[in-house]
């Protein structure tokens, strides 16, 4: 039995509200996969630059700024 067959067999035994949760999760996984596939070389470089900037001494995170401002 394949994984797909096993999933379908178990879905048949679930109430409809749980089907919706499973569908939401599958849609989330597809969205996440599509976002990962859409990242190009320039985006990867930008992410690396941002991570480097975050590691620099004296960098203040947005969360810290909000906390200091009482937001």
**Residue tagged 């969205």 (tokens):** 31
Rounded to 5 degrees, what are φ and ψ at 57?
-65, 135
Predicted local distance difference test score (pLDDT) of residue 9: 85
What was the pLDDT predicted at 2? 92
pLDDT reported for residue 37: 73
What pLDDT score was predicted for residue 21? 86
pTM for the full model? 0.45
Cα separation values, 11 from 2, 20, 21, 25, 28, Å = 14, 10, 11, 13, 18
The one-digit pLDDT tens for each residue of the chain (71 residues) are: 898 888 888 888 888 888 888 888 989 888 888 877 777 777 778 878 887 877 777 777 777 878 888 87
What residue ranges do the domains of the chain occupy? 3-69
């Amino acid at each position: 039995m394949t994984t797909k067959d096993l999933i379908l067999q178990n879905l048949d035994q679930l109430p409809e509200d749980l089907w919706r949760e499973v569908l939401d999760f599958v849609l989330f996984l597809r969205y996440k996969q599509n976002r990962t596939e859409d990242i190009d070389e320039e985006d990867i470089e930008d992410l690396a630059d941002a991570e480097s900037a975050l590691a620099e001494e004296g960098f203040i995170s947005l969360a810290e700024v909000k906390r200091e401002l009482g937001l």
